[in-house]
Amino acid sequence: MRAVYLDHQSATPVLPEVMEAMRPFFAEAYGNPSSLHRHGLLARDALARARSQIAAFINAESPEEILFTADSTEAANLAIKGAAEANRRNGNHIILSQIEHPSLIASTEMLETRGFTTTRVKVDAQGAIDLQDIAGAITEKTILLAVHHTNHEIGTIEPVREIGALARARGVLFYVDADASAGWLPLDARDWNASLLSFSPQRFYGPKGVGVLYQNRRAALAAILHGGDQERGLRPGVENVPAIVGAGAAAEIAGREIAQRSAHCARLQKRLWEGLRARIPHLKLNGPEPGPRRHPATLNISSEFIEGEGQLLLCDMQGIAVASGSSCVSKSRQSSHVLAAIGVDPALARGNIIMSLGRDNTEGEVDYVIETFPKIVAKLRALSPTWEEHEKGLIASVIRPA
């Protein structure tokens, strides 16, 4: 059976070059970077090199501004809780958008129980944040703006450069969650005036088990874990040296290949969307049309009158790996807060499938999906009571023309 992997926003294969770079740090150069003998110094050297590679990847001023965590969720927790704690005397108000990743939203919810307040600015029907809404939400108590570069579900690219300029003008820290875009779109901490910026290499051909947090030297941060001096005391605990080395290698390769990678994916993304749209009636694209406002590798589609999990399972049986944000698939059983925020009908949100392309996908694979997916939708619609009612003219489609 054909195998087509279209879930690169969940995980990517580790590149052979990245694995090769990591390999010595398991059984040969296994020292603890805090040790003062040659084994330790070797590991410490490797961390320094990875820090430089990451600093170059995001255009940081200095490698000293790069912190390593266990993953991007931990990096987001450290960014939000650490910035809130360290800047408490300046205020207690945090601004973020309604469609941020749960690691940001839940971190601010936790802070709300400790005397902080939060404003969640709305987004438009494509998931875009309006700069005016952020400007209007800033008060003298505001200490932090937290916004993602691109949305993890619907691929909207946010105006981070403009938001960063606003943050600078108003003297507020600016945290960019770049987890969904790192490796697919260029990141520029300096140009965006980011105080903090996070991502993890597992979404762009690096290993799992490592996250990156950029901390501008002027941005104060407090630790959320305690008990060690590693990462300037901001992330105590022995460093995951092989994964950090892998993160550096993956970032260096991504930096070289990024234009080619995103152009390749954008071409396939357009082909996939146009192919599916032409073959499936009542199909909705969630988020912006493929183009400059959308992540080049992701599609988020809702097939009306059917649910997401069945589509995912039938895809899997045809060798096609996709994701769904639908409530019954995810462990939480809650509908996607992102789709709700952009006004997607709840039943349509349940029929949601996310396809995320990668550098190794081919036109042939995309054509196989274009040929197979409509059959899956048709099979499930044949079981659906709402599809039958729609076919009889008893109910109308809720999809509005874009």
Partner 1 sequence: MSPTPALYNPTVLDHFLNPRNVGDVQEADGIGEAAQSNGGDTLRMSLKIKEGKIAEARFRAFGCAAAIASSSIATELIEGMTLEQARRFSNRQVVEALGGLPAAKIQCSLLASQALRAALDDYNKKQPARPRPGEPIR
CB-nearer residue toward partner 1: 3 or 259:
3
| Distance in Å, CB of 258 to partner 1, minimum | 31
| Distance in Å, CB of 119 to partner 1, minimum | 27
Catalytic-role residue among 36, 238, 328, 382: 328
| Distance in Å, CB of 321 to partner 1, minimum | 12
- 29/44 Cα distance (integer angstroms): 10
CB-nearer residue toward partner 1: 145 or 306:
306
373 three-state secondary structure: helix
CB 109 within 8 A of CB 101: no
Count CB-CB contacts under 10 A for residue 13: 12
| Distance in Å, CB of 319 to partner 1, minimum | 11
What value does the CA radius of gyration of the chain take, rounded to a whole number of Å? 22
- Binding stretches for partner 1 (CB under 8 A): 305-310, 313-314, 317, 326-329, 331, 333, 335, 345-347, 349-350, 382-388
Residue carrying structure tokens 């899956």 = 376
120 three-state secondary structure: strand
Element (H, E) at 331: none
- 22/168 Cα distance (integer angstroms): 38
The amino acid that residue 340 corresponds to is A
Is 265 marked active-site?
Answer: no
CB 266 within 8 A of CB 361: no
CB-nearer residue toward partner 1: 90 or 384:
384
What are the distances in angstroms from CA 234 to CA 91, 223, 312? 21, 5, 40
Sign of the torsion angle spanned by Cα atoms 327, 333, 338, 339: positive
Cβ neighbours of residue 285 closer than 8 Å, sequence gap 6 or more? 273, 277, 299, 300, 301, 402
- 83/222 Cα distance (integer angstroms): 6
CB 46 within 8 A of CB 245: yes
Q: Which two tokens stand for residue 144?
A: 């932090």
CB-nearer residue toward partner 1: 153 or 231:
153
CB-nearer residue toward partner 1: 41 or 383:
383
| Distance in Å, CB of 383 to partner 1, minimum | 6
| Distance in Å, CB of 279 to partner 1, minimum | 21
User: What are the residue numbers of the active site?
Assistant: 328
